[in-house]
A and B are shown apart, each in its own frame.
Chain A
Amino acid sequence: MNCANPLDAGILGDYWAGALSQTEEETVEEHLLGCDECGERLLELGALADSVRKLARQGSLLMVVSDRFLQRIAAEGLHAREYTPPRGGNIACTVTADDDFLIGRLTADLSGAKQIDLSLCDERGIERLRLTDIPFNPRGGSVAFQQSITYAKAAPSETMIARLIARDDGGARSMLGEYTFHHTRTLPGPGT
């Protein structure tokens, strides 16, 4: 196989994502109907996309999610357990065997922030993980993040503190909010 004009990898990605204009899409499809080499590359991309989709449905990623993502979960009949602790306050939480996703919603005034980090700390306030430069809508008033449901179902009772930290253009940091989650394990097994 020798394609004289192989399609750019980015174009293939946009094509699979449905992000090309109609004219661009037609050009790509004409090429693909005559080229096995580029078709093979697209097939590999499709397999990667399918696997990412399956991974996302497992609820095991730690990440910030959009409201639309949560709507999609619900539309698929999956159950998301969501907790919204008050800013500066705490909330008791757990997870059951029927839950597919675990969501923490952190409310704060995001309107002036240029960049926001989500810091996840243990019960002493010591940072264990930081999600840097998370996506957020300045007008949204909250950030929803997905905790791994796989981890939550296996985790013992514990406390986690989440902090939203804004960074301005000069690098100065300010705390937008702190939220404490008291997780009680209710599923049977070690750590109950």
Chain B
Amino acid sequence: MEIEASDAELAARIGSGNDREAEAELLRRMAPRIRLYGLRHLRSEPAADDLMQQVLITTLEALRAGRLREPEKLVSFVLGTCRMTVLDLRRNAQRKERLLDRFGADLLKPAPAPVEDLDQELLARCVQGLKERERAVIVMTFYDEQTSADLANFLGVSEANVRVIRHRAIHQLRNCMEVGG
């Protein structure tokens, strides 16, 4: 049975010469992971795609040039590049917003990419089926992105309690979506 090369082994192969196969495999693995980081930090699919491309290019350039001397530190390198690129993208986004405000956002903004939705009717039933405090925490966390401190203040409980309520609510929502309401 063939053992799959680790990420660090692929990085080492890329660094030691022209290994297109290793490059393709590493890009295939890292792309969705970097994109997920982008979704978490940028909350936008197009922005996450931009991040993914930029980080992959930077990583590949570094590996080909042999700048990553310790391949086992690949994850740390990618994570650091992700952080720097997110900062750049945020700065660019702010600049872009200012330009859009100046020249007319409706004319210049591209149409948002379609996102595959969960069954909204089922989700509505499941969210409505939560306890009042659970519903408040879920909606205000995911819609308004309120911090645990804000929610703790609203609910009159501790931040640790907010986390417990959120864990329970997510668990119940998932179960409800799985069994169909």
Binding site for B on A (CB under 8 A): 9-10, 13-19, 26, 29-30, 32-34, 36, 39, 42-43, 45-57, 60-66, 68-69, 72, 131-138
Contact = CB atoms under 8 A, between A and B. Distances in A.
Contacts, number: 150
Contacts of A135: 132-133, 136, 154-156
| Interface of chain A: mostly helix, strand, loop or mixed | helix
15 contacts: A9-B170, A14-B167, A17-B141, A17-B145, A18-B147, A33-B78, A46-B39, A47-B118, A48-B118, A52-B173, A56-B142, A61-B124, A61-B127, A66-B136, A66-B154
A61 B130 CA distance: 11
B56 interface: no
Given A9-B170, A36-B32, A135-B133, 11 more contacts: A15-B40, A30-B79, A32-B33, A33-B82, A39-B36, A43-B39, A45-B170, A49-B141, A52-B142, A68-B140, A137-B153
A34 B177 CA distance: 28
A9 B168 CA distance: 10
B143 interface: yes
User: Which of B7, B76, B142, B166 counts the most A-chain CB atoms under 10 A from its CB?
Assistant: B142
Contacts of B136: 63-66, 135
A33 B131 contact: no
Given A17-B166, A68-B144, A29 B139 contact: no
Contacts of A33: 30, 33-34, 37, 75, 78-79, 82
A4 to B, nearest CB: 13
A46 B163 contact: no
B10 interface: no
